[in-house]
């Protein structure tokens, strides 16, 4: 016995979702038409579900690639215990290398003996400049007149020459 | 039958028994393997872009891995992963809402692209047509839903979650989930019905 008119679409939807009120639920259970509508709706939803799953289906390679990509991005973040203790031997190894290099350095570059000093280029240039200066001083010392007084000496010499020639003229004139 | 993801052991173990950093590579690989298909499927249903769904799926697992210490084992791993995935999808849609709708709301090209993507795996022309038709139906049905309705609908009817699980995943109250579900369901049913009617008329 049907106690009411057929359910509307909202009531069918509510029934499908398990949310129908008691009156609608009783009607659907009793009415073949409404029950058929509910079943049709259920099939539609099932088709929709199948279609969506179809849509999201991918070949196995896709999932493998996706998983590999995820795991590759996860791996650098992961801190394994191995890496945690790796720094200890790393530091020890570094110190050993440093000590070894400090010992090796004198062997590779031996300290020169005091007798055979190898001059560097700037040292050589300085030495040359000093030598030149000494030669110049030596030359200056050997001059009869210091270099600075040379012009004055020349003036005195010229005046003496003039005076001497005047004297000669004067004495020559008296003789004539 | 697809493997289920209700296997919280690995993650719960990682979060509770092991130290927070102690989850092994193999354990996490197993979690990815068990859950990646469902996460991808839901993300594809929400964002409706296969490349983007792939990217967001990867991002979802990365985020889960980085925040694994926050997983307390109260919910199922799958629920927790879905929550992350849905948050990612929401963030993405929020940031790119304009571009997203401009690109996809009325684009038939996109449907065809997707149909070709899927059809690559299927040889016969009949199968190709069937897939295209199914896609068209799914997309058009989901198109009218809001993002929230789409989430709830996909979780209920595609992933077959209970109202409580959906509420846990979306952080909505069960009553609100029911309301969204009812509206989504009504819209989809109406839309699918119209499509069948159109087909019958042809």
d(CA B29, CA B69): 17
Interface with chain A: mutation pick from B159, B185, B193, B200, highest number of A CBs within 10 Å: B185
Domain presence at residue B165: no
Say which CATH number the domain at B12 has. 1.10.1740.10
pLDDT score at B129: 72
Can you tell me the distance from the alpha carbon of B72 to that of B58, in angstroms, rounded to the nearest whole number? 22
The DSSP code sequence of chain B is -PPP---THHHHIIIIIS-TT---HHHHHHHHHHHHHHHHHHHHHHH--HHHHHHHHHHHHHHHHHTGGG--SSS-HHHHHHHHHHHHHHHHHHHTHHHHHHHHTT-HHHHHHHHHHHHTT--SHHHHHHHHHHHHHHHHHHHTS-HHHHHHHIIIIIS---HHHHHHHHT--HHHHHHHHHHHHHHHHHHHHHHHHHHHH-
B130 inside domain: no
Q: Provide the pLDDT confidence category of residue A66 given band limits of 50, 70 and 90.
A: very high
What is the tens place of the pLDDT at every residue in A73-112?
Answer: 887 655 555 566 678 888 899 999 999 888 887 777 776 6
Identify whether B91 is part of a domain.
Answer: yes
Count CA within 13 A, CB hemisphere, residue A145: 10
- Report the C-alpha gap between B160 and B156 in whole angstroms: 5
Based on the number of CB atoms within 10 Å of its own CB, is B102 exposed (0-12), middle (13-18) or buried (19 or more)?
Answer: exposed
Question: B69, B58, B56: which is closest to B21 by C-alpha?
Answer: B69
- Give the model confidence (pLDDT) of B2-23 as tens digits: 554 444 555 555 444 444 455 6
What mean pLDDT is reported for chain A?
81
**Shortest Cα–Cα distance, A48 to chain B (Å):** 6
Task: Say if B132 falls within a structural domain.
Answer: no
Confidence at residue B20, expressed as pLDDT on a 0 to 100 scale: 42
Per-residue pLDDT for B108 more than 60? no
Which residues constitute the domain of residue B32?
A: 1-103
Question: In chain B, what residues touch A71 (CB-CB under 8 Å)?
Answer: 25, 28-29, 32
> B172, B90 in Cβ contact below 8 A?
no
Taking CB atoms and an 8 Å limit, are B58 and A69 in contact across chains?
Answer: yes
Give the count of domains, chain B. Answer: 1
CA dihedral (B181, B183, B184, B187) in degrees, to 10, reads: 150
**pLDDT at residue B131, rounded to an integer:** 63
pLDDT confidence bin for A8, thresholds 50/70/90: confident
Q: What is the average per-residue pLDDT within B30-37?
A: 92
- Kindly provide the ipTM of the predicted complex, given to two decimals: 0.71
The set of residues, in sequence order, having a beta carbon less than 8 Å from that of B131 and lying 6+ positions away, is A54, A55, B115, B118, B119, B122
Report the pLDDT value the prediction gives residue A65, as an integer from 0 to 100.
94
In a 3-state reduction of DSSP, which class is residue A174? helix
In a domain? residue B71: yes
pLDDT for B44 beyond 60 = yes
Poorest-confidence range of A48-57, A138-147, B110-119? B110-119
Q: Is B178 on the interface with A (CB under 8 A)?
A: yes
pLDDT class for A68, splitting at 50, 70, 90?
very high
Question: Cα separation of B131 and B115, whole Å?
Answer: 7
Which of A76-80, B133-137, B170-174, B197-201 has the weakest average pLDDT?
A76-80
- The pLDDT assigned to A49 comes to 82
The answer to whether position B84 is within a domain reads yes
Query: Nearest-CA neighbor of B76 among B6, B15, B13?
Result: B6
Q: For residue B12, is it within any domain?
A: yes
Q: Give the phi and the psi of residue A21 in degrees, each rounded to 5.
A: -75, 170
Q: Tell me if chain A has a CB within 8 Å of the CB of B29.
A: yes
Residue B1 pLDDT > 50, yes or no? Answer: no
Residue B92 lies inside a defined structural domain of this protein:
yes
Q: Which residues contact A118 (CB under 8 A, 6 or more apart)?
A: A112
Residue A46 confidence class, pLDDT cut points 50, 70, 90? confident
Read off the pLDDT of each residue in B27-32 and give the average, rounded to a whole number: 88
Chain B CA closest to residue A12: B186
Give the best residue of B41, B53, B136, B191 to mutate against chain A (max A CB count within 10 A): B41
């Amino acid at each position: 016995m049907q106690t009411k008119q057929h359910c509307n679409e909202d009531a069918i939807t509510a029934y499908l979702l398990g949310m129908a009120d008691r009156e609608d639920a009783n009607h659907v259970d009793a009415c073949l038409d409404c029950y058929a509508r509910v079943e049709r709706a259920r099939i539609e939803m099932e088709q929709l579900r199948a279609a969506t799953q179809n849509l999201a289906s991918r070949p196995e390679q896709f999932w493998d690639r996706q998983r590999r990509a995820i795991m590759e991005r996860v791996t650098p973040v992961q801190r394994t215990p191995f890496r945690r203790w790796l720094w200890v031997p790393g530091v020890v190894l570094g110190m050993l290398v440093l000590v070894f290099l400090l010992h090796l350095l004198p062997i590779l570059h031996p300290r020169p003996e005091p007798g055979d000093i190898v001059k560097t280029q700037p040292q050589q240039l300085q030495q040359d400049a000093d030598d030149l200066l000494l030669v110049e001083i030596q030359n200056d010392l050997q001059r009869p007149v210091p270099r600075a007084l040379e012009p004055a000496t020349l003036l005195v010499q010229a005046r003496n020459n003039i005076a001497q020639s005047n004297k000669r003229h004067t004495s020559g004139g008296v003789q004539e | 039958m697809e493997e289920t993801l209700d296997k919280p052991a690995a993650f719960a173990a990682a979060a509770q028994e092991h130290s927070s950093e102690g989850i092994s590579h193999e354990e996490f690989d197993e979690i990815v393997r068990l859950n990646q298909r469902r996460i991808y499927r839901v993300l594809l249903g929400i964002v409706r872009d296969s490349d983007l769904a792939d990217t967001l799926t990867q991002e979802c697992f990365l985020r889960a891995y980085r925040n694994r210490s926050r997983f307390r084992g109260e919910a199922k791993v799958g629920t927790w992963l879905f929550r992350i995935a849905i948050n990612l999808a929401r963030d993405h849609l929020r940031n790119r809402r304009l571009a997203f709708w401009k690109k996809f709301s009325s684009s038939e090209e996109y449907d065809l692209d997707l149909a070709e993507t899927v059809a690559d795996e299927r040889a016969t022309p009949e199968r190709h047509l069937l897939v295209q038709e199914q896609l068209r139906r799914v997309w058009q049905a989901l198109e009218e839903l809001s993002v929230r309705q789409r989430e709830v609908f996909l979780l209920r009817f595609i992933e077959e979650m209970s109202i409580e699980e959906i509420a846990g995943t979306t952080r909505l109250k069960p009553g609100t989930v029911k309301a969204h579900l009812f509206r989504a369901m009504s819209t989809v049913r109406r839309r699918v019905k119209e499509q069948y009617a159109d087909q019958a008329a042809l």
